[in-house]
Structure 1
Amino acid sequence: MQNEELQQARIVERKSAQRYTALFEFAPIGYFALDMSGTISQVNLRGASLLGIERINLAGKNFLNYIADQHQEVFKTFLVATFEDEGIQTCEILVQLDTRTLWLSVEAKFGDFGTDCLIALIDITPMKEHQTQLEHIAHFDLLTNLPNRVLLSDRLSQAMLHCSRNKQSLAVVFLDLDGFKAVNDTYGHDLGDELLIALSVSMKKALREGDSLARIGGDEFVAVLTDLNTVEDCEPVLERFLLASSEPVTIDNVVLNVSASIGVTLYPQDNVDADQLMRHADQAMYVAKESGKNRYHLFDTVQDDAVKVRRESLEGIRSALDNHQFVLYYQPKVNMRTGKVIGAEALIRWQHPERGLLNPIEFLPVIENNPMMIELGEWVIDSALTQMSQWQAMCLNLPISTSVNIAAVQLQQPDFAQRLTTLLAAHPDIEPRYLELEVLETSALEDVNHVSATMHACMVLGVNFALDDFGTGYSSLTYLRRLPAKIIKIDQTFVRDMLHDADDLAIVEGVIALAKSFKREVIAEGVETIEHGTELLQLGCDLAQGYGIARPMPASDIPAWINDWKPVASWQR
């Protein structure tokens, strides 16, 4: 009985082994039994079929013999991990055969096959090829097979790091075809595409080893030229680009002629990020196109820095207006002969939160022809009228006649008189005759007729005008005759040096004589010393302002200054 049971058990065991062998042999997955060195002890039919080698020729061979060089170390590490760890190990390897290559997904476990490990292989070549196709589509232009914007961005970033490490430069070259739209419109997009393919081949030949060329859309290409020591190093490539893009191309018996406008910027001379480099090269390309096409233009970093500074300054001034950071200082004006204070000039200052009190020369030139100048000018008029109202309400013996400077862009607005009417109406307690508008002589250069008409319209309201910085323009006599200014202000540059410069003295003397001839009052700016005042009095100019009399001061200091003001005795003799 025991023998029968034992015999029966052996039959079951043999059948089980046969079933296991059949499963191993005919499984749709390739199986290999390997020792720790990678030597093959067993392989099933599918495994041999994957490699395309007879099973008899695989036994005793090392599996590493079939693995591509770049994956040898990967598989060795995989084997060691399989024998040292009880868990399942996985990896992907490239198998290099005589006529083909395979991508295999490998799974292995030790302990179920004697002293060897069993590895399972699945062919994932189609999946890998599809993945490669997708990656190619994601990184290359389908028409020209050049890198696209995504791959270009990566290559540019890598090239920038390389330049930084090696203390070299690179050039970003933005190339736009001239006349390509006409080709498309005339011959159709199919022929246009053929032209793009032909040009991309020609332009690629213009590159040096290590350079990259990408198509980023339409008829736009970008090249990255690396390992440059000087600006001149990229010029031969640029010339080759121009030549390659302008050579006639014959397609279907049609001769096509286009050219290229090229913009170039250099890194790290243009020390910005990759996106900004692309934008700067694009800007330079437009300069080349506007300059006549079929040429290249180098991005001007100095000019761009100036533009950035200007933009930041404009933003700062906008913020200062919105946050009430501008203030008015006032400089008294006096009659030197009588000692009487006759008024004050309102002068704008910027109470900058970081840089302190700024003079107008530090910010007004930035907005000279900007709409903000009009807004700021109206703020000055309104603030001066408000201050005049406050002085009047104090019932102090103060000269409330106040002058403000009017910029050219503000004065030349067609509705200046109407806007001034609105500002005056907001301060009904101030008589318009106490407001004096100072007009730069050069402000009226562009359109004397318009400025004259505007001044007449304002004078109807009761406002007075002074012609500021007189003598610095080109046609002073014309202005005196045609502009209805009540007062002429002698520019301080002539007054300041008249004591030791005969030419300046002659100019001052001439302006005073002209003012009297045209029956205008005259006031001198830049009176810095008693001697200046004495000389002016002798020349017949009684009115003055300047540091020798008083520096510009906050409105709150004006009452005390007037009370303490003591005229110079020698001026009143």
Structure 2
Amino acid sequence: MDIAITSTDFSAIFDHTLSPVVVFDTTFKVVACNQAYEKMLNTKRSTIIGHYLTDVLSSGNDQQDQDLIDSFNSVIASKQPVRIPFIRYDIPNATVVNDNKSDERYWAVVNTPILDEHGAVKYILNQPTDITELVQAREKQELIPLSGATDASQFELGLSFQDLLYKERARVHELFQQAPGFVCILTGKNYTFEMANKAYVDLFAHNKNIIGKPLAEAMPEAVEQGISVLLDEVCATGKPFFARAMEYQVYPDGPDNPKTIYIDFIYQPIRDANDEISGVFVQGYDVTEAHNLNQKVSYQATHDPLTGLYNRREIDHRSQQLQSQPGPHALIYIDLDHFKIVNDRSGHHAGDELLLQVADALKQVTDNGLLARIGGDEFVFLLENCSLTKAKTLARRAARHINDIAFYWQKSRYSITASMGIAEFGSAIDTSYTDALSLADSACFLAKDKGRDRIQVNHPDDADMHQQHKDMDWATRLKEAMREDRIVLYAQNIIKLSRVDQVHHKEILSRLVDKDGTIVPPGAFITAAERYGLIEQLDRHIIRKVFQSIVQLQENQQTVPHFFINVSGISLSNPSFKGFIEALLREFMHVDGTKICFEITETAAVANLNRTAKMMNHINKLGIKFALDDFGSGVATFDYLDKLPITYIKIDGAFVTDLKTRPIGEAIVQSIQNIAQIMGVKTIAECIEDVELIPHLRKLGINYGQGYGIHRPEPLL
């Protein structure tokens, strides 16, 4: 037969309990107290209930009042019982102890939270025990009964033990609450929550009251996520379980709004006195922020921040794994054509948007390959176990997708194309990824060289690729030669045809001294310099060496002739070239600028006539002269001559060599001389291989001449 205790019965039990009990709400207002509490305070219940703590229990000491309030706040914050083994709190109206009129009162207190259905603290149950008599007896060494104590030493020992017990329990509780991370203790077969710190409750239980409840009842979502299975394994094996960044779902905003967190934790079996497993100790940390940061850093380390494609580092890493496999594997190197025009005309925001659209287009043709952005406008396809034929098919599809991009920016439309190079690698063909990337890059460069918007496959027997590799090799050797000062200056005399015995002009010709001492003529490396963007660096290197040579001639008290130095159109179109020359003239202040004449080819001069003319005029004002080289080999027109500040016209050697055998050649040379004379410009005939041409050229009015028939180049110094 079930016996139900009514609320009336509970009230009676509460009121007749011998221990003092009082109940406060969270504003510290008294809502109930029993007879023992009324008697302890020596105050009527009607003056207690409905009044605030400080009104009922005011000690008259601000610090004591604050200590008591702090203990209640601790209960509200932790939702856990708080035991105070020893506290002084003076209550003037309290019952007199053994006729002692002292107002000093000492208490042992237990404060217990009463939670509502939502797990929030609703009331605080305060159970004070007046230990003033014990404290006074200890101070006076008086004998009073205490748990069977028969003398003062036993009493003192008992009281000290009681104090120690309370203090240690309070200390353990505080340590449990302050433990790093979340902590709980589960006991029994149902994994009942015996203890849980605030961090655990906040993270997993979301302020619900879980103490005393089995795991399946308190946190059913944990069982659904396999936590009970892990606990079963720990209890069955007796071995701890460790987890790193385990994904877990919590529900702080209700069952319909899961939140993913990541936790590190350990499940440690707890053993009783008989070495039987009685529970599991749980400790861990919420590492969600660190995990997400790590994922973000990992993503950033392997992906391009603009397009979201893999970056060069990741594609290099993946390919290193592939290159030991037979393969062959294929690489497609993609470089957008004229991308710089978009950036220069519309700005980098436009360039970024174009790159995003190109990336989206390329994603449509990946065919299970890896796509990466490895440079500003450079992309790579890495294709595992793919033949060159299949790679070329994919490259054609990629090219069509890129060509289909209709890119508009601020009412401007740009046509988008790309040049592509293909190479293969793998252990089966004994080619590394690094070599294949270099070969694909070279093939792509050759595709651009052939006119852009095309695909070039690297084949060992391809003549164009062979020349490309040769140029690449020379580009590397040229860089080293400039760095190691192995570019030497040769000079060829330019004579005045009316006074062949006098030499006042020389053309500077460069040679490269190879590592084995071989003298290499410019024809071997000039093309590579132009193709690989080294010509401007080479120009400046040679010009500086000429200035240094003039200083050396001056120091040796030798005559300084007029030096003709070949300069590329690229150098003259660079706005910084004027500043370079000005800096040289300041550095070598004893060098006469009028002794320097820059030669520029007719083709280079007219390629960007306005820009070239502007630069030539700036430099001409510094005293430096200009000669138009290979005249007649390019546009064969005189229209632009008056726009350039030239002092000399060098007639292309093709007309000079055939002067005696081709009448048209003589007519061209004569017309050039006539125009030059009208403009006040001197003429120089190039490639004079036969000295018998000199009288004929002199008769046509040509002013100067040079060639192997007159003088073979020799070291300048």
TM, length-normalised to structure 2: 0.40
Please identify which structure carries the higher helix content: 1
TM, length-normalised to structure 1: 0.50
Q: Which of structures 1 and 2 has the larger relative contact order (alpha carbons within 8 angstroms, sep 6+)?
A: 1
Larger CA Rg, structure 1 vs 2: 2
